[in-house]
Structure 1
Amino acid sequence: MGEKTKVLEQPLVRGALTFGTAAGVCLILGPVLIPILRRLKFGQSVRDDGPKRHLTKAGTPTMGGILFLAGIVTAVLVWAPLNPEVYVLLGITLGYGLIGFIDDFIKVVMRRPLGLRAREKLAGQIVLGLLLGGAAVWGLDRGSALSIPYFGYTVDLSYGYIFFALFWLVGFGNAVNLTDGLDGLAAGSILVTMLAYTFIAYSLDKISLAIFALAVAGGCLGFLVFNRYPALVFMGDTGSLALGGALAGLAVLTQTELLLLIIGGVFVVETLSVIIQVISFQTTGRRVFLMSPLHHHFELAGWSEVKVVRVFWTVAFILAVIGTAIFSL
């Protein structure tokens, strides 16, 4: 019995079990939950001004983020060394997921297409951002220093770090949400970024954070079975906001916030494309892209949905490798 326990305590074994548990829970729940969502008519509405091929997606069940959130929570509680950092990450992830769930519920059940009002959604995200920043500075001994990648410098932001963490959490939470516009795009991109964070956390001897990252990666892999093209279910804001919160939370607790601009570069570029499009149209009356976020631009340029997703996954993988290489220098 003692030998078995020692084997299970090995980081690689525990990591593999975490990944497998998160994916397995998702795979088991999928065939149960997806038909329920379909019977309840919790279907996705599709914008008329988007790519015409997306009109066939109307009615596809949404709120599927529940699947991988169940896998993540189960895997973390079973396999991760439970400590304040893990509880904070779970709280941020589930808190953002709850905001997304309420937004989805209002859209599909109450038939209010815009969901939560922007100020309502932002208010919840700000509260969670303040909690993350406060916990990082005062509760987790992370401190208020901001690390500059490659150069090895740090800048002490003092109490200003709390607001920086807030901005990072809100920014990346919504960046992943913007990226979730094609079948499998957000889940696959998060998967590779989480593998990068598994390496980073393990290198910092933060085993609990590495286990958490693997749980998210495993949950995304299990979800892709149902979310790859043609998707049987969408993650909805329930999933995309939760994944963005998890990603930003990991960056804060591993002190790699600025490095996340590279590791999560796909999400950064998607967000920038929206900002550029809005500013350009409001100032000049012209659009830089055929449509934003950027993945829709390539669709309207003639790329198939599968091609866009595969190219973005490849770019996400390359950026994750570059980011981990810079971290290792």
Structure 2
Amino acid sequence: MFFMIINYIILGVLAFLITFLITPVIRKTAINSNILDNPCDRKIHKIPLPRLGGIAIAISFFFSLSVGYILIRPEKNGGIEALAGISIGASIIVFIGIWDDIRGLNATKKFMGQFASAFSILSFGFIINQVNVPFLGVMDIGNPLGALLAIFWVVGIMNAINFIDGIDGLAGTVTLFILVALSVISYIAGQIQMVIICLILASAILGFLRYNIYKASIFMGDCGAMLLGFVTATITIKVLFQNPNIVASSAVPVLIFGLPIVDATWGILRRFRKGRSPFSADLGHLHHRLIDLGLSQDKALLTLGLINILSISAGLVIVFLKSEILSIILCGSMLIIALFIVIFLGKKSPIDYQCQDNLEPRPKTDEISL
């Protein structure tokens, strides 16, 4: 047990240091290569900023995961298949994300890449084959439907995390607390390999947040946001959807991802109502609305962070107490809170802005401080 804890500490420190040390290098490389996120009407930042920070997180994640395999030998715990599945799927989505950050992808090509990464994990056992419905118990789901649900969940969470990556530090902070919750649940479920993955990714995010919290000097880009969404979504399938007996309701994953899901659902419905693509950009996300109310970026981050913690805490309470009645009460309460937030912040119709970043002339690197 002592050596296991030491190994965890080594992996956490390693993942943190790698991201912390190589992010400035990637930032300078992105600036010199003019791979920048340019300001426009629908964006909050005022100067061009590099957007390849997700590469630092990805390098840290994959390298630390390899070291973790050597130190902890997860195959002894039946975890080699899960690690292989997550690694392959994550590699696909990182490639798609880097391509999008550098060259630009339209929504269709990006969605196809997301679908490919989600589809790749099915053969490694990441299928939603059971759900736990209060008062009805565990219900088995057929394999075709379970596979479709798994793909829908992974693609949905990837986009939800990507949608909230609109102000400094938000996507990283939200995902960090989600990973803390998933690590606790993974430990309860006896999924030690998932605990390791949570620890490594959370530590990598911490190393990156040093440069991404307000005022950010680099963005994680689609590469980083989609990687965070992919990994957390697949972990959820393994530790919650495939271990329904440890929770009183399969609504727990929805509560843990409450903030990103509410923001994404609201955004998609809002765009459909206007006859627009659900992936088109506007200034209608929750973080945009809070800033419209006069909050600074750091205060908007704090506000949404507290809402995120509240929703996650509700999910953890259900996990620990395993009460069906309590799960219904908490889910109902969080739904009311979500509706209140959406109605309150949605009174003013968002302005539709168009900004095709990858088609704009790149600013000169001397406009940005190295």
**Superposition TM-score tier, normalisation by shorter sequence:** 0.7 to 0.9
User: Residue 60 in 1 paired to residue 60 in 2?
Assistant: no
Deviates more, 1:142-151 or 1:250-259: 142-151
1:187 is matched with: 172
- Alignment counterpart, residue 15 of structure 2, candidates 22, 28, 32: 22
Query: What amino acid is aligned across from residue 90 of structure 2 in structure 1?
Result: T
Return the letter of the residue paired with 1:167: F
Q: What is aligned with 2:97?
A: 100
In structure 2, how many angstroms separate the alpha carbons of the residues matched to 1:146 and 1:29? 41
Partner residue, 1:41: 34
CA distance in 2, matches of 1:148, 1:207: 26
Indicate how the Cα distance of structure 1 residues 149 and 21 shifts in structure 2: closer, same or farther if over 3 A, else same: farther
Distance 1:247 1:148, change over 3 A: farther
Number of the residue aligned with 1:232: 217
1:202 to 187, 193, 196: 187
Aligned-partner SS, 2:289: helix
Inter-partner Cα distance in structure 2 for 1:190 and 1:246: 10
Tell me what 2:367 maps to.
Answer: none
* Residue 249 (1) aligns with residue 229 (2): no
Partner residue of 2:84 out of 87, 103, 109 = 87
The answer to whether residue 30 in structure 2 is matched with residue 7 in structure 1 is no
Moved more, 127-136 or 196-205: 127-136
Say which SS state the counterpart of residue 139 (structure 2) adopts.
Answer: strand
State the match for 1:322 in structure 2.
Answer: 314
For 1:55 and 1:221, locate their aligned partners in 2 and report how far apart those are by CA, in whole Å. 22
Aligned residue among 288, 292, 302 for 2:284:
292
2-structure distance, mates of 1:241, 1:222: 18
Instruction: Report how far residue 188 of structure 1 moved.
Output: 0.5
1 CA distance for matches of 2:31 and 2:42?
A: 25
- Aligned mates of 2:124, 2:11 — CA distance in 1: 25
Output the amino acid matched with 1:224: L
- How many Å apart are 1:249 and its aligned residue? 0.7
Deviation of 1:143 after TM superposition, in Å, equals 7.2
Deviations 1:193-249 (A, max 9, x none): 001111111111111111001111111111100101110110000100111101111
Structure 1: runs of 5 or more not aligned: 1-5, 107-114, 284-289
Q: 1:151 to 1:229 in 2, by over 3 A?
A: farther
Give the conservation status (yes or no) of the 8 Å contact 2:26–2:52. Answer: no
Normalising by structure 1, we get a TM-score of 0.85
Aligned equivalent of 1:216, options 192, 201, 205? 201
Provide, for residues 267-326 of structure 1, a one-character-per-residue CA deviation record: whole Å limited to 9, x for no partner.
10110221232244349xxxxxx9322111111121111111111112222222221221
Deviations 1:50-70 (A, max 9, x none): 4xxx241x3111110011111
Q: 1:28 to 1:291 in 2, by over 3 A?
A: closer
Residue 154 of structure 1 deviates from its aligned partner by: 2.9
* Match among 286, 290, 293 for residue 301 of structure 1: 293
Q: Tell me which residue corresponds to 1:158.
A: 143
- Code of the residue aligned with 1:7 in structure 2: it is F
Inter-partner Cα distance in structure 2 for 1:196 and 1:13: 21
Gap change, CA 1:161 and 1:223, over 3 Å in 2: same
Most deviating of 295-304 and 176-185: 295-304
Give the deviation of 1:105 after TM superposition. 1.1
- 1:311 maps to which of 303, 328, 333: 303
Residues 130 and 138 of structure 2 are in contact (CA less than 8 Å); yes or no, is this contact kept in structure 1? no
Distance across 2 between alignment mates of 1:23 and 1:105: 25
Aligned match of 1:287: none
Contact 2:256-2:312 at 8 Å conserved across structures: yes
Q: d(CA) in 1 for partners of 2:289 and 2:99? A: 29
The residue type equivalent to 1:62 in the other structure is R
Can you list the C-alpha shifts for 1:87-133, whole angstroms capped at 9, x where unaligned? Answer: 11122222212111111111xxxxxxxx2122211112222222223
TM-superposed deviation, 1:152? 4.6
What letter matches 1:90 in structure 2? S
Q: Equivalents in 2 of 1:85, 1:147: separation in Å?
A: 22
* Secondary structure of the structure 2 residue equivalent to 1:255: helix
For structure 2, which runs of at least 5 residues remain unmatched after alignment? Answer: 75-79, 242-249, 277-281, 323-370
Match of 1:73 in 2: 62
What CA deviation, in whole Å up to 9, does each residue of 1:14-58 have, x standing for no partner? 3332222111111111232222222222111233244xxx241x3
Q: Cα 1:315–1:258, aligned 2, differ >3 Å: closer, same or farther?
A: same
Alignment correspondent of 2:344: none
* SS of match in other structure, 1:231: coil
Aligned residue in 2 for 1:131 = 120
Give the total of aligned pairs: 300
* CA drift at 1:75: 1.8
